[in-house]
């Protein structure tokens, strides 16, 4: 699988009370748990972070291997573009777009099945799409960049993809989870305590 996850972690996390990458589960920062989940699934990653998140990570053990700074006041799509640009002139065959507040699936099969798609794809449960969203390299080059270069005003990823999103069925409920508020985090930890390792 020649694909990489772009973890979008530059937001201010206003509803959470601070950057979501820095929220804690049993005293462990969320970014570290996400990094471990990605490693378990065998998915390389590049993290797009704010200056605040980067500073908080300094000196920590087991940092993500690639960090890129982005402006926390800009929309999430700008963070995605920052991550794509950081991949350089020869990007991988595709990228997984993973907002930091969506728990990364530990199941390698989820990632492999998404990466096999020839067009944008997302994991789905009973018709509901979740994350990560997979963007094939050819789609990024042929659709995303031309639209951005055309300067047609604000762009959203869901608008670019339109009705062309392939749903890849999965049984992993985490793909539908969004940890937007402290209550979301509490419920997630409560529901997943049996399987979610917070060591």
Does residue 90 form part of some domain? yes
> What is the per-residue pLDDT across 22-72, written as a single tens digit (0 to 9) for each?
988 888 899 999 999 999 999 999 999 999 999 999 878 778 889 999 999
Residue 34, token pair as written in the block? 């996400």
Give the separation between CA 170 and CA 84, rounded to whole angstroms.
26
Are the C-beta atoms of 34 and 8 separated by less than 8 Å? no
For the chain, the maximum distance between any two Cα atoms, rounded to a whole number of angstroms, is: 49
Does residue 199 form part of some domain? no
Does residue 197 form part of some domain? no
Does residue 160 form part of some domain? yes
> What is the per-residue pLDDT across 95-127, written as a single tens digit (0 to 9) for each?
999 999 999 999 999 999 999 999 999 999 999
Does residue 198 form part of some domain? no
Does residue 75 form part of some domain? yes
Give the separation between CA 46 and CA 67, rounded to whole angstroms.
6
Q: What's the sign of the alpha-carbon dihedral 37, 39, 45, 48? A: positive
Give the separation between CA 138 and CA 128, rounded to whole angstroms.
25
- pTM of the entire predicted model: 0.90
Are the C-beta atoms of 46 and 15 separated by less than 8 Å? no
Residue 175's CATH number: 3.90.550.10
Looking at the structure of the chain, the number of domains it has is 1
Containing structural domain, residue 44 = 3-192
- DSSP code at position 84: H
pLDDT of 90 reads 67
Are the C-beta atoms of 137 and 93 separated by less than 8 Å? yes
- For residue 141, the tally of other CB atoms under 10 A from its CB is 11
């Amino acid at each position: 699988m020649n694909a990489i996850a772009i973890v979008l972690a530059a937001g201010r996390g206003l509803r959470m009370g601070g950057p979501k990458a820095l929220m804690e589960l049993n005293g462990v920062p969320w970014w570290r748990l996400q990094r471990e989940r990605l490693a378990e699934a065998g998915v390389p990653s590049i993290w797009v972070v704010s200056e605040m998140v980067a500073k908080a990570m300094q000196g920590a053990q087991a940092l993500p291997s690639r960090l890129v700074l982005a402006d926390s006041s800009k929309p999430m799509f700008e963070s995605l573009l920052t991550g794509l640009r950081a991949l350089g002139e020869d990007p991988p065959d595709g990228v997984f777009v993973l907002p930091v507040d969506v728990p990364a699936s530990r199941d390698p099969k989820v990632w492999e099945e998404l990466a096999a798609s020839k067009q944008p794809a997302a994991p789905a449960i009973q018709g509901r799409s979740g994350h990560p969203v997979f963007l094939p390299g050819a789609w990024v080059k042929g659709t995303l960049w031309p639209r951005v270069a055309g300067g047609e005003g604000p762009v959203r990823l869901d608008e670019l993809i339109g009705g062309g999103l392939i749903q890849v069925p999965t049984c992993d409920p985490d793909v539908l989870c969004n940890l937007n508020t402290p209550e979301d985090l509490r419920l997630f930890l409560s529901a997943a305590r049996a399987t979610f390792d917070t060591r």
